[in-house]
Structure 1
């Protein structure tokens, strides 16, 4: 089987995970890299055996390199839109990290380009590939818990809590991120709701910044935080299912706790990243008698993100694939959350 030649943009910590995932497919070969940090470029360029003339300080040259068949972008939010724009202009397939863009205005401009000339694209909503979530989607679609009436989704991390005195980083810089916890973790919650239940119809939100300043490790100065570190919202989906969402980095004791509870007329499903190969199914086994069963996720639900990316490059779009429009719709909902919180009102989508 042939290998696809990949240009990798962004060589920070998360890039190493993407490199490992690409290697696992046996179908993707990194032939060019780009990063603004020369030390990172040398370190990973040497490790990957990338030729010197394929190490680009500017991502535009990498995308335009005729040896690069597809692009993988693992960068901070402020360059997502520019990278996607050049990929669209060059008609180069790509996989980009979430959130789709920093602002909805950026997303609208990209949609105009995409509609004129669509390009195969994957957005990095990686939790679609958590086996328990995929199995939950299957059970919901099969009607195992009847009509879904409500659900709750939360994504909790604890590393930003006050007791840890986490320093100021780019994730707290509004010019780079657009939003804080909302865009970082909340975008995954929004995508999970769309993956499981369809589109958002309306929502009402609150954003908060509980820790108003943090120490900049480089300067030693305290820096004001202009993005949220807690987000919560309620939403109504297309099928009238009501959803409750919360996310924060201040949840002491939570490492990477992304979980979904789905409540239907005849049962409940609970799935979590804390136990990705199992889920809990509650149902009435006999009249008046509830049964709570832990189900092992079947092998068909253990799909890898980069296997789907390879499938995209080969011309197919697998079920549940997070494509360009999923990124766009996600950004539309993120924007509605911000507008709802600022205006203290319900937003219709």
Structure 2
């Protein structure tokens, strides 16, 4: 009989339900303990999962140290990401942690040093690596379907923060919790997609902006200043020589969850989007002077699920493109470079720390 992995789930908000569903779909995971600072959430989710009071933790460290827990899944706000990763490393517990890797880059550096001393199987929740269209686009690019890649554009647009919706002040607008706004929330996915498709960043120039500078407090109704970006754009040169432009916002009216990439090569173009996750558009010259636009169905081999890769990781295997610990660290490094570029109004070269010990473990 195949082993069932006992999961400790930290963070019981809306995304936790999605993770439970994804785990159930694979059939090799069972949530045996949960943790949250919200007693009501602990009671509701713990009861729904049939967990006793002794497996409902208000302190996530106690959950991580629970000997009945084989691995951790963390789905929490940004300000506790670093503490949870640190506790997992110290306990020697494998984990899948939400992005961004940490709130700010300064929190990521000591985690890398600890990981180099005490590595554990780790996965960072860059879920769009598991969108079939993006996986197929990567395969096509690597197979030379459009020749050498010269440039690309990546955008991630949502609309729920737009002025017409009168969205109140939430934790995602609180700098002490998030570190950044749309940049860390949505931009981290764009950065990861660029690294997944093209490799490492070499240099970038960025601009951050706050479109709606005040939002109402949901309790008092009084205005609260927003100290994080709700629009981010940057241009980058990658180590492979390609150049790209990025934009993200949560104020794009009409955009639900629009994450997409257009890739321009010597022999054609590839476009992939969450709006059509099972198809890729390819444009290339089929005859001299004649361009053909083809919609390609994504093959089944590109429909790997995130928790299938996490399962393979727990069982000692490797998976092409799995977003691991170092992907989380590098992502945070690029996020910090975007902020630095905006503040200094200058281009920033990467990596920020130079070619250090992490590169030998890639």
State the TM-score, normalized to the length of structure 2: 0.96
Query: How many Å separate the matches in 1 of 2:132 and 2:295?
Result: 14
Match of 1:67 in 2: 68
Match of 1:47 in 2: 48
Deviation at 1:219, TM superposition (A): 2.2
Deviation at 1:51, TM superposition (A): 1.5
Structure 2: stretches of 5+ with no match in the other structure: 351-362
Instruction: Give the match's secondary structure for 2:134.
Output: helix
1:210 aligns with 2:211: yes
Match of 2:228 in 1: 227
Match of 1:243 in 2: 244
Instruction: Give the match's secondary structure for 2:260.
Output: strand
Instruction: Give the match's secondary structure for 1:44.
Output: helix
Match of 2:253 in 1: 252
1:165 aligns with 2:166: yes
Instruction: Give the match's secondary structure for 1:201.
Output: strand
Instruction: Give the match's secondary structure for 1:316.
Output: coil
Match of 2:334 in 1: 333
Match of 1:82 in 2: 83
Match of 2:123 in 1: 122
Deviation at 1:317, TM superposition (A): 1.6
Instruction: Give the match's secondary structure for 2:316.
Output: coil
Query: How many Å separate the matches in 1 of 2:118 and 2:33?
Result: 25
Deviation at 1:58, TM superposition (A): 0.4
Match of 2:39 in 1: 38
Runs of 4+ displaced beyond 6 Å: none
Say what the alpha-carbon RMSD is for the aligned residues. Answer: 0.4
Query: How many Å separate the matches in 1 of 2:219 and 2:306?
Result: 36
Q: How does 1:230-309 map to 2 (within 5 A)?
A: 230-309=231-310
Instruction: Give the match's secondary structure for 1:127.
Output: helix
Deviation at 1:218, TM superposition (A): 1.7
Match of 1:111 in 2: 112
Deviation at 1:2, TM superposition (A): 1.3
Query: How many Å separate the matches in 1 of 2:131 and 2:45?
Result: 28
Residues 6-39 of structure 1 show CA distances to partners (whole Å, capped at 9, x for unaligned) of: 0000000110000000111100000000000000
Match of 1:321 in 2: 322
Match of 1:311 in 2: 312
Report how many residues are paired.
349
State the TM-score, normalized to the length of structure 1: 1.00
Deviates more, 1:2-11 or 1:212-221: 212-221
Query: How many Å separate the matches in 2 of 1:218 and 1:190?
Result: 35
Residues 77-111 of structure 1 show CA distances to partners (whole Å, capped at 9, x for unaligned) of: 00000000000000100000000000101000100
Residues 100-150 of structure 1 show CA distances to partners (whole Å, capped at 9, x for unaligned) of: 000101000100100001110000000000000000000000011000000
Query: How many Å separate the matches in 1 of 2:132 and 2:233?
Result: 25
Query: How many Å separate the matches in 2 of 1:89 and 1:255?
Result: 39
Match of 2:357 in 1: none
Match of 1:15 in 2: 16
Deviates more, 1:320-329 or 1:217-226: 217-226
Deviation at 1:344, TM superposition (A): 0.3
Instruction: Give the match's secondary structure for 2:111.
Output: helix
